């Protein structure tokens, strides 16, 4: 299933990624950020319903100067503290800043968000290839696309959808910038169940993969590198 998911990502297709039974128990629609189109944004807001975010590799975030939102808001009384997240007591959330590309108008239409997301992927690729930092010249904040900063060490440190999606992109040999959107249930208002997410994937001919499969392959790759 890992290879099916990697192949789908390489082809610019949406993949359904479920985290873990003992974590959020949520499925995200994910797609490589450099391939996302306005139609993909439409699919995510219509069939996903959660926040449409762009996860980026920690090294790229560091080179681009992207902070954690919790660090930016330390002076605000309601800021998140370590241990506040019920599904991940050891880590803070991965939220960074929200941006619009400077070429967009309001930033919220599907076309605007796709433009912003594609440009984020471009900046990630440039930064990891040793290019200059042009982030502020390309984007303005606040905006309508949330950036998620993956944890240093990825799945060795944190096992959220952010780290899972970036690890999967790395395994597929892609630029590590991935769009993620939680799938919600229209009837209950809760997260879509794993079973319903699997049924959606089957109906639409999409790959469904679980976090445990991504983690297992990640650990196998690490073991091979360290052998």
Q: Is 226 one of the annotated active-site residues of the chain?
A: no
Q: Is 200 one of the annotated active-site residues of the chain?
A: no
Q: Is 87 one of the annotated active-site residues of the chain?
A: yes
Q: Which of 34, 182, 200, 217 does the annotation list as catalytic?
A: 182
Cβ distance 168 to 9 under 8 Å?
A: yes
Radius of gyration over every alpha carbon of the chain, rounded to an integer in angstroms: 17
pTM of the model: 0.91
pLDDT tens over the chain, length 227 residues: 898 999 999 999 999 999 988 878 899 999 999 999 999 999 999 999 999 999 999 999 999 999 988 888 776 666 656 555 555 545 568 899 999 999 999 999 999 999 999 999 999 999 999 887 789 999 999 999 999 999 988 888 888 899 999 999 999 999 999 999 999 999 999 999 999 999 999 999 999 999 999 988 888 877 777 76
Q: Where does residue 129 rank: exposed (0-12), middle (13-18), buried (19+ CB within 10 A)?
A: exposed
- Catalogue all structural domains in the chain, each as residue range(s) with its CATH number: 2-226 (3.90.870.10)
Q: Which helix (H) or strand (E) holds 51?
A: strand 49-56
Q: Which two tokens stand for residue 57?
A: 């590799």
- In terms of Cα–Cα distance, which of 53, 1, 22 is closest to 171? 1
């Amino acid at each position: 299933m890992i290879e099916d998911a990697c192949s789908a990502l390489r082809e610019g297709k949406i993949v359904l990624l479920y985290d873990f039974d003992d974590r959020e128990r949520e499925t995200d629609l994910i797609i490589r950020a450099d391939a996302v189109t306005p139609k993909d944004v439409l699919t995510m807001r219509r069939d996903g319903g959660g926040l449409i975010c762009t996860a980026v590799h920690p090294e790229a975030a560091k080179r681009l100067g992207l902070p954690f939102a919790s660090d930016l808001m330390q002076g605000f009384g309601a800021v998140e503290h370590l241990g506040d997240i019920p599904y991940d007591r050891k880590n803070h959330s991965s939220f960074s800043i929200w941006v619009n590309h400077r070429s967009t108008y309001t930033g919220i239409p599907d076309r605007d968000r796709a433009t912003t997301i594609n440009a984020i992927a471009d900046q990630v690729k440039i930064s990891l290839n040793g290019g200059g930092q042009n982030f502020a010249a390309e984007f303005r904040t606040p905006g309508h696309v949330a950036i998620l900063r993956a944890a240093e060490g990825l799945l060795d440190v944190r096992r959220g959808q952010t780290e899972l999606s970036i690890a999967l992109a790395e395994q597929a040999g892609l630029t590590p910038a991935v769009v993620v959107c939680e799938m919600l249930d229209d009837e209950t208002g809760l997260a879509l169940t794993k079973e319903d997410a699997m049924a959606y994937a089957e109906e639409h001919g999409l790959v469904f993969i679980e976090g445990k499969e991504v983690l297992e392959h990640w650990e196998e790759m690490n073991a091979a590198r360290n052998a």
